[in-house]
A and B are shown apart, each in its own frame.
Chain A
Amino acid sequence: GAVVSQHPSWVICKSGTSVKIECRSLDFQATTMFWYRQFPKQSLMLMATSNEGSKATYEQGVEKDKFLINHASLTLSTLTVTSAHPEDSSFYICSARGQKKDYEQYFGPGTRLTVT
């Protein structure tokens, strides 16, 4: 149980375009989802926390107008990278936390974004 999927697993886009990444909890309801970014050889960096039906909470230094997060249902959150630039190229990972008092985050497989 506790499976999280991400789509796409990798994407290449041109500078200036927008890219949407989906994160789904397949067998549980995720009240909270997290979006992370990881650059090569670096640790996970939390970008934002989203709760179903409410606005996401962004970490300091993360532009909310550039990284649009929508948590429309208890099983789906999306991250849209708007007007992508080469410096946005990174590994984007989502995780989900269930409704019970369980602080474990279940991670999706990640999405590798390359902006050319």
Chain B
Amino acid sequence: GQNIDQPTEMTATEGAIVQINCTYQTSGFNGLFWYQQHAGEAPTFLSYNVLDGLEEKGRFSSFLSRSKGYSYLLLKELQMKDSASYLCAVVDSNYQLIWGAGTKLIIKP
């Protein structure tokens, strides 16, 4: 079966750095997305990785290792508004998005 694992919840301090991990086992791989979802709102796009390596976009970076079935989202200089759920999703061989359960990130002052 297809499976995506990410931690259920993480806590970090304002101004710090946090890394949210995602491991996957899917039938095929056509890329990995990270989405941010605030409570009561729809997900918003953060990043898309299809090749190995690190992609940096402002305070957010996303890393992919296809051989290890592993990705992480790195958030720097954390702000209170970064408190949200972060969803990892993999595009499988049928070009369908397989969603992880999401990681709830709590930022403390």
Which A residues are closer than 8 A to B by beta carbons?
Answer: 34, 42-44, 46, 49, 91, 93, 103-110, 112
| CB within 8 Å for A103 and B91 given contacts A43-B102, A46-B99 | yes
Question: Which A residues are in CB contact (< 8 Å) with B42?
Answer: 93, 107-110
Contact (Cβ within 8 A) A44 B87: yes
- Please tell me if the beta carbons of A49 and B41 are within 8 angstroms of each other in the complex: no
A-B contact pairs, 11 of them (CB 8 A): A42-B101, A43-B102, A103-B33, A103-B95, A104-B33, A106-B45, A107-B43, A107-B44, A108-B42, A110-B40, A112-B40
Q: Which residue of B lies closest to A105 (CB)?
A: B97
CA distance A112 to B42 in the complex (A): 11
Interface of B is mostly: loop
Known: A107-B44, A110-B42. A43 touches B95 (CB 8 A): no
Report the separation of the CA atoms of residues A105 and B87 in the bound assembly, to the nearest whole angstrom: 13
B48 lies within 8 A of chain A by Cβ: yes
Interface string of B14-32 (1 = CB under 8 A from A): 0000000000000000110
Is B96 engaged at the interface, CB distance under 8 Å to the other chain?
yes
- Assembled-state Cα–Cα distance A63/B77 (Å): 45
CB distance from B31 to the nearest CB of A (A): 6
Contact A43 B87 (CB under 8 A): yes
Q: How far apart sit A104 and B91, CA to CA, in the bound complex (Å)?
A: 9
Q: Mark B25-68, 1 if CB is under 8 A from A, else 0.
A: 00000110100000011111100100000000000000000000
Interchain CB contact under 8 A, A104 and B87: no
Judging by beta carbons under 8 Å apart, are A44 and B45 in contact? no
Q: List residues of B (53-109) whose CB comes within 8 Å of A's CBs.
A: 87, 91, 95-97, 99-102
A43 to B7, CA, bound (A): 13
